[in-house]
Structure 1
Amino acid sequence: MDKKFTEEEATLYDRQIRLWGLDAQKRLRNARILVCGMSGLGAEVAKNLVLAGVKSLTMLDQVNLTLEHCQSNFLAPRDQVSAEVGDVDAKDREYFKDFDIVLVTSAMKDTLIKVNGFCRDLGIKFLSGDVFGFFGYAFMDLVEHEFVEEVMKSSNSDLDADEPVKKRPKKDAEGEQEEEESKTKMVKTIMSFVPLEKSLASDWSQEAYKKRIKRMDPSFFVLHVLYEFQSREGRHPLLEHEEGDLKTLKSLGESITQKFNLPETKIPEAIYPMLFSEISPSAAIVGGILAQEIIKIISNRDAPHNNFFFFNPLETAGIVEKVGY
């Protein structure tokens, strides 16, 4: 049975409770989260979730600390580090059953697909993400997720008498402002998601997809280039191999363009030099989004992103794309 929410906890999380309510904070206190990959991105998510007050946070990582990590990861001290090695790719399905949410960062595509499959089998919410230079992404497969949203309706709507009433200004026939009664209502919604494998395997030769490509941000296809690079090289693009990696990225970009029958200029050539190493500001942006989504998922408040979030450095913008439905 859950412990009673103490006065000390109420004081500590006062701002959050006023923001999303006591019930949501109680759910956070009971949440068990696994974060795999403690690069700059993983560190950002872990920090934000610990501050939010989750019950338990397990951090899993198998990579030795490098100079690059010290430059992008504020949790990595510059003097001495001791860490327990653990490879998420080596874990079987049973390992994940004790968690409510699993986040995998800085992993190969095949690993992400495998862990995503384990989580779907177990009914566990799965998220993934990575940062490549200035570019970053997050993916969410929540299987089926139920949440509530606050909606506002006019006083003429059929709402229960005990629902809160708000007032908003409106103009009368002479242009003078008067107040119109409105009510808020908590509406319950169920949202379905698809696994990463299905999303990446979307058939872009279909007519509906062809029309969408024209208005779609290039980030989804940049991600395909980066996944192919990882599969070939076993790592992220690195500045120490900049010349060779840049050629490889451009070559893979041409292959992806042909594979999906994209317009030749769909993947801007200017993006390739921006994909090297891990930039801490981009990790902060994507890490903030991932932590925000995890908190929304746990609290069952507001609609989560479905299903990709991208940070496009060329546009200095975040983009949400729904792919694979």
Structure 2
Amino acid sequence: MKGLGAEVAKNLILAGVKGLTMLDHQQQVSIRGLEPCALQLALLSQEMGGPGMTEIHRCRTAYETLLCVWKRHRQGCVSQEDTRAQFLIPVGSLGRNRAEASLERAQNLNPMVDVKADPESVENKPEEFFTQFDAVCLTCCSRDVMVKIDQICHKNSIKFFTGDVFGYHGYMFANLGEHEFVEEKTKVTKVSPGVEDGPDTKKAKLDSSETTMVKKRVVFCQLKEALAVDWSSEKAKAALKRTTPDYFLLQVLLKFRTDKGRDPLPQSYAEDSKLLLQIRSDVLDSLGVSMDLLPDDFISYCFSEMAPVCAVVGGVLGQEVVKARFLGSTCLAALPAEVLGGGSAVPALAPSPLPGTAAGQGPVSDGEACAAPWIPIAGQVWNPCPAPLCWKHNVLCPHLAPLSPALRAQHPRLPALKWLEVC
């Protein structure tokens, strides 16, 4: 539940899922400071409330500062590193469990979503735990844990997502099992020659086309298969030219995480850089690919979590979860409740229609629905839309209508909005 996890959780909560459970699994906290060990220990013990210290390691010098690491019996503790990208954690939460520290702010994003925090290790969760969810999204997990949970989700037809951010680099992976969707195809039609001729006739012949919807089915590969590609085969060698180097960088960073139990840290840049170069050589040799795919300068761009990168990757990852889970179902209301006179910032997704305006018709009554269908996005099935009004609804519905004067007068916040998206 670090920076990327906070971004994904925020996006899903604002989208209005029914419920969301945040787990944190990491087991150590890193504190950097200039104070001597005894003073730092006293300050940390006082801030954490005293109990919980189980092991103290010797300090070592890093960039002329002391890096002290305390291992505690509680898991997923907040560190100074988390305060740079994890915006759900309040100030003064040093040493608390990340999931529990994030719960209050996460719940405030949307009081109608059932948000829970679970401090237990995800590795210790039984298979039955995951079957209660429609989708599972992992961040900051080891390769073995990701593969294990992906297999559980694949077996139980649960949508699986994972992602990470390493400095300027980020990735996401999705396993939706057997996925059916509809794709829009444009076909150029022949126009029968007319009697008249001229510019208008030529333009009509050039612009004539028809759009058809083609149903397709895709079987997603599992994470274990995606990470274990045999690059010695002829087919793989041909695909190597189109493969981004970030795929091999991911292999290196996951191996580093497995060996060290953590990601590369700026505080130990010199040591971690040497280890990354060694792991790079070992990984690329085992895969049978050239070292030129990852030049030595890759180590300059893969340290720590950067908030802007977390925002971009978290936005894409959260969007894919929403699309996979909700886009094939009915269009659901997403107008802020405070706009409609409620107390929460954003209501939960619910099939009940909201009062609003239909395209070109002005205000509509409660329960009246726009007859326009969804435009299929990313190959999803289009359905009739039962909700008359949506606000910033993930571009699920492209029909825009001007804000009605009556709605502007009734809700003072609305004049700042020039358009509302209407389903």
TM-score, length of structure 1 as denominator length? 0.72
Give the Cα separation in 1 of the matches to 2:200 and 2:288: 57
CA contact (8 A) 1:147 1:302 kept: no
2:24 is matched by which residue type in structure 1? D
Between Structure 1 and Structure 2, the one with more helix by share is 1
Higher Cα radius of gyration: 2
Give the Cα separation in 2 of the matches to 1:212 and 1:184: 32
**RMSD of the TM alignment (CA)?**
2.4
**2:100 counterpart of 1:137:** no
CA contact (8 A) 2:190 2:208 kept: no
- Percent of aligned positions with the same letter in both sequences? 39
In structure 2, the residue matched to 1:65 is 78
In structure 2, the residue matched to 1:168 is none
In the TM superposition, what is the alpha-carbon distance from 1:173 to its structure 2 partner?
A: 7.2
- Structure 2: segments with no counterpart, 5+ residues: 26-75, 101-117, 192-197, 329-375, 380-423
In structure 2, the residue matched to 1:105 is 139
In structure 2, the residue matched to 1:177 is 203
1:56 is matched by which residue type in structure 2? G
Give the Cα separation in 1 of the matches to 2:87 and 2:201: 55
2:9 is matched by which residue type in structure 1? A
In the TM superposition, what is the alpha-carbon distance from 1:187 to its structure 2 partner?
A: 2.9
The count of corresponding residues between Structure 1 and Structure 2 is: 254
**2:229 counterpart of 1:216:** no
Q: How does 1:157-168 map to 2 (within 5 A)?
A: none
- Structure 1: segments with no counterpart, 5+ residues: 1-37, 158-171, 305-325
**2:312 counterpart of 1:285:** yes
Higher mean alpha-carbon deviation, 143-152 vs 284-293, is at: 143-152
Give the Cα separation in 2 of the matches to 1:286 and 1:111: 21
Q: Secondary structure at the match of 1:212?
A: helix
Q: How does 1:115-126 map to 2 (within 5 A)?
A: 115-126=149-160
By relative contact order (CA 8 Å, sep 6+), the higher-ranking structure is 1
2:203 is matched by which residue type in structure 1? Q
Q: Secondary structure at the match of 2:131?
A: helix
In the TM superposition, what is the alpha-carbon distance from 1:44 to its structure 2 partner?
A: 0.8
In structure 2, the residue matched to 1:246 is 273
CA contact (8 A) 1:120 1:143 kept: yes
In structure 1, the residue matched to 2:4 is 41
Post-superposition CA distance 1:6-46 (Å, at most 9, x none): xxxxxxxxxxxxxxxxxxxxxxxxxxxxxxxx211011111
In structure 1, the residue matched to 2:87 is 74
Post-superposition CA distance 1:114-158 (Å, at most 9, x none): 11111111111111111111111111111111122333334569x
Give the Cα separation in 2 of the matches to 1:185 and 1:57: 37
1:268 is matched by which residue type in structure 2? P
2:88 is matched by which residue type in structure 1? L
Q: Secondary structure at the match of 2:237?
A: helix
Give the Cα separation in 2 of the matches to 1:53 and 1:190: 28
In the TM superposition, what is the alpha-carbon distance from 1:185 to its structure 2 partner?
A: 3.4
Give the Cα separation in 1 of the matches to 2:310 and 2:2: 9
